[in-house]
Amino acid sequence: MPDIKNITIENIADAPFKDQVLFLRKLFGLSQQELGQFLCGVSERTISRWEHGEEDPHPRSKQAVNALRTTAEALGDLFEPDVIKVWVDRTNPALGGERPRDYVKKPGGIFRMAQLLGTLGR
C-alpha cells in the first residue's frame, strides 16, 4: 500500500498518481467501490491497481481523478480535511439540493463540481 502520510491537500498535485488516488479516496471517505462509482463505472479492482501502481488509468479516468483533486484543493481552501468528509454527505443548494456524493456520480458531475468549486478563488 502506498505511503500517503506526507501528502496534504496543498502538495497533492506533486504526489505520484497512485498516491493521489489513495489520498483522495481517504479524504472524501470513499471505499474503492464508491470511488469507482464517482469515476463512472471504474471497477473496485481497477482502483486497487491504480493505488498500487500496477496499472495506468484510461485518460478519461485520469481527467476525472484530476477533477476530484481540483475539487479537494478548492475545498481545502474552505474547510479542514475532516469537514470535507461531512460536506460530501450533506445536501447542497448549489447542486440542486443533492449531496455532492450523489451529484458526482452523474455523467460529467465530477467535472461540473470541479469547475464550480474551482471558480471560488483558485
Assigned domain for 85 exists: yes
Assigned domain for 11 exists: no
Q: How far apart are CA 106 and CA 97, in angstroms?
A: 14
Domain total of the chain:
1
| Domain span including residue 110 | 16-118
pLDDT digits (tens, 9 = 90+) for 40-86: 788 999 999 999 999 999 998 999 899 889 888 888 888 888 888 88
Assigned domain for 6 exists: no
Assigned domain for 36 exists: yes
Assigned domain for 77 exists: yes
77-99 core/surface letters (b: 16 or more CB in 10 A; e: else): eeeeeeebeeebeeebeebeebe
Q: What is the pTM of this model?
A: 0.82
pLDDT confidence band for 107 (50 / 70 / 90): confident
Assigned domain for 80 exists: yes
